[in-house]
Amino acid sequence: MVAQRELSEAEVDRVFHALATSTRRDILRRTIEREQSVSTLASEYEMSFAAVQKHVAVLEAANLIVKRAEGRKRLVRANPEMIARARALLARYEELWRSRIARLDELLAETPASRTDTTDTTDVPRTEEGD
């Protein structure tokens, strides 16, 4: 198995931007299932061919899909390597948030007596009544 390198910040930005639109997520899903021409993809959406081409270009810039020429056709397929790298990134974010939530749960489960009160109220300004 090939070791996956970390995604650069620019790659992360491109991947999240590409996946931010439902149409692009759907194009990615369709191209995971099988390679398709841009024309075939365009026929599935109620938008212009040019608009679908722009969505494909964003996915291609994020390296989530690969486009190749076959005669006059442009065929598109998902890039499983980049999808795996994006999945690994999301798994790291998930682990980070799960550990933070677990720590929060631990803090909330502590009894009030077991917590040390570090609040010092001697420096809190007090106002006199009638101010």
85-124 pLDDT, tens digit each: 999 988 988 999 999 998 998 888 887 766 565 555 555 5
**pTM (2 decimals)?**
0.71
* pLDDT at res. 1: 45
The pair of structure tokens assigned to 27 is 């194009």
Residue-wise pLDDT tens digits, 54-82: 999 999 999 999 999 999 999 999 999 99
Check residue 60 and give its pLDDT: 97
Q: Please give the residue that has the higher pLDDT: either 118 or 34.
A: 34
Cα–Cα distance between 51 and 47 in angstroms, integer? 6
Helix locations, the chain, DSSP H: 9-19, 22-33, 38-42, 49-61, 80-109
Q: Cα-flanking dihedrals φ and ψ of residue 62, to 5°? A: -85, 0
